[in-house]
A and B are shown apart, each in its own frame.
Chain A
């Protein structure tokens, strides 16, 4: 158990809908990272937050957004969902940059 909690574990929704994925980082960790992993694809970095502020962006679509709340949990919002958004979404947390990051078990999103 990495200490990073992601909910829900599985999510099935229809095209055009909006969903919210939640991540609770390890206690004391300030950085949260979001990743997307499509079938047979690598881990694509989406976005990083540090102590409530967005700090780095990767290949995140404009339909996707995220935030980190004062209690340091984070949410990834995916809107106008398309079939191609079906993937595993992972959250990771670390105390700061350059300390080891620990990953949650992911949310498997299926868009039908």
Chain B
């Protein structure tokens, strides 16, 4: 059901930017791209979302290509605590009455190394 493709794993040096890619080539015009992360067995943590414009918040930046077929999550200065599985999700809204499946793929396991 997942409509996104992510690399299974990535490594990043502490203090460097982590750039996590995601392909969502079948995304529809009204579907948002969301990013979550899961540290160990904790509940997934919301990071950021966007429709077509680039977005930035205190945690990360989201760069969405002009054709919206791919995006990149950027953690500007990765720390050891950013080691987690990162999920890129397309919000699949089944209808306008609040019905949807929030579907997670396998994500990218990001390891931040000292």
Contact = CB atoms under 8 A, between A and B. Distances in A.
Contact of B43 (A2, A50, A56, A97): A2
B42 A92 contact: no
Interface of B: 1, 32, 34, 36, 38, 41-46, 49, 87, 91, 93-94, 97-107
A45 B101 contact: yes
If over half of B's interface residues share one DSSP class (helix, strand or loop), that class is named, otherwise mixed; here it is loop
A31 interface: yes
Contacts of A90: 43-44
Interface residues of A, number: 30
Contact of A106 (B41, B94, B103): B41
A55 B46 CA distance: 22
A4 B43 CA distance: 10
Interface string A85-107: 00010101000111011111110
A78 interface: no
Given A102-B46, A104-B43, A97 B106 contact: no
A103 B107 contact: no
Nearest to B107: A42
Nearest to B48: A100
Given A42-B107, A50-B99, A98-B32, A88 B41 contact: yes
A50 B102 contact: no
A58 B100 CA distance: 10
B102 A33 contact: yes
B101 A58 contact: yes
Contact of A55 (B44, B87, B99, B106): B99
Interface in A42-87: 42-43, 45, 48, 50-51, 55-56, 58
Contacts of B98: 30-31, 50-51, 55, 96-97
Contacts of A37: 41
A67 B96 CA distance: 21
